[in-house]
């Protein structure tokens, strides 16, 4: 099992020169990113289907052990009927096919206004292929229930942990993978260490994906954002 560390996206010129070298062209950002970090949560897939050539270029820019987690298109998660037309899930997954085994999972993030609806959730999760791990991110408190957690795990997924407090839990939610979004504005040195210890511990039994905050945190801050992800990756000796 593996701990995959990164941020949500890589196309951020404001990360120069603390993360990206000052003279690095934009079309080499991902190549450099993947030399430092082992995973990326892709937000662009939430807004539009990507072209096959663009996705193939992503795959070609990263080494074998690198993994992408693609955020599901908003037509699947933000429509009145969760999942929308089943054929759109097929279109979405087909657009990611050039990633091959570099696609580690997908993230299904529901809007904050979406209240609990067990039947709609089941319909959405039924569209995810059995061999593709996924994480559900619920942003309305009505979903906080052991029965929801059980349903997600039984469908082959896990609950996404989106941390804004800086304090790690004792354990991550069950499932075939774990998925964490480290969204606090700043982590103390102790909190950063404790989070890494938790992620490493959980990764002993399953693949764990953890993504630091990508917006509003300048590169060069070792206690949040991309530089914290870089610090964690160095502790784990990525790349091997």
Domain architecture of the chain: domains with CATH: 3-235 (3.20.20.410)
Output the pLDDT for position 187.
95
Q: Which helix (H) or strand (E) holds 74?
A: helix 74-77
- Which of 151, 71, 153, 133 minimizes the C-alpha distance to 107? 71
Query: How crowded is residue 208: how many other Cβ atoms within 10 Å of its Cβ?
Result: 24
Task: Specify whether the CB–CB gap between 211 and 39 falls below 8 A.
Answer: yes
Pull the structure tokens for residue 107.
Answer: 């993230």
Q: Which helix (H) or strand (E) holds 207?
A: strand 207-212
Per-residue tens of pLDDT for the chain, all 240 residues: 699 999 999 999 999 999 999 999 999 999 999 999 999 999 999 999 999 999 999 999 999 999 999 999 999 998 877 766 778 899 999 999 999 999 999 999 999 999 999 999 999 999 999 999 999 999 999 999 999 999 999 999 999 999 999 999 999 999 999 999 999 989 999 999 999 999 999 999 999 999 999 888 889 999 999 999 999 999 986 665
Peptide bond before 224: cis, by omega within 30 degrees of 0?
Answer: no
Task: Specify whether the CB–CB gap between 135 and 105 falls below 8 A.
Answer: yes
Rounded CA separation 148/120 (Å): 12
- Which of 106, 133, 89, 98 minimizes the C-alpha distance to 42? 106
DSSP state, 98?
Answer: G
């Amino acid at each position: 099992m593996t701990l995959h560390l990164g941020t949500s996206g890589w196309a951020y010129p404001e990360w120069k020169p603390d993360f990206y070298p000052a003279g690095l062209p934009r079309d080499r950002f991902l190549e450099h990113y993947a030399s430092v970090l082992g995973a990326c949560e892709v937000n662009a897939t939430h807004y539009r289907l990507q072209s096959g050539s663009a996705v193939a270029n992503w795959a070609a820019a990263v080494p074998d052990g690198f993994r992408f987690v693609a955020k599901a298109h908003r037509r699947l998660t933000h429509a009145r009927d969760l999942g929308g037309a089943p054929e759109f899930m097929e279109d979405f997954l087909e657009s990611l096919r050039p990633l091959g085994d570099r696609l580690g999972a997908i993230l299904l993030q529901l809007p904050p206004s979406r209240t609990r609806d067990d039947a709609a959730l089941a319909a959405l999760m039924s569209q995810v292929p059995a061999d593709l791990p996924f994480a559900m991110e619920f942003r309305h408190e009505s979903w906080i229930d052991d029965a929801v957690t059980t349903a997600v795990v039984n469908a082959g997924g896990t609950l996404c942990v989106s941390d804004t407090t800086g304090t790690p839990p004792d354990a991550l939610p069950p499932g075939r993978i774990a998925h964490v979004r480290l969204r606090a504005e700043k982590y103390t040195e102790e909190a950063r260490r404790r989070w890494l210890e938790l992620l490493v511990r959980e990764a002993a039994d399953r693949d764990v994906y953890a993504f630091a905050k990508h917006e509003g945190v300048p590169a060069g801050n070792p206690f949040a954002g991309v530089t914290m992800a870089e610090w964690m990756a160095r502790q784990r000796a990525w790349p091997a």
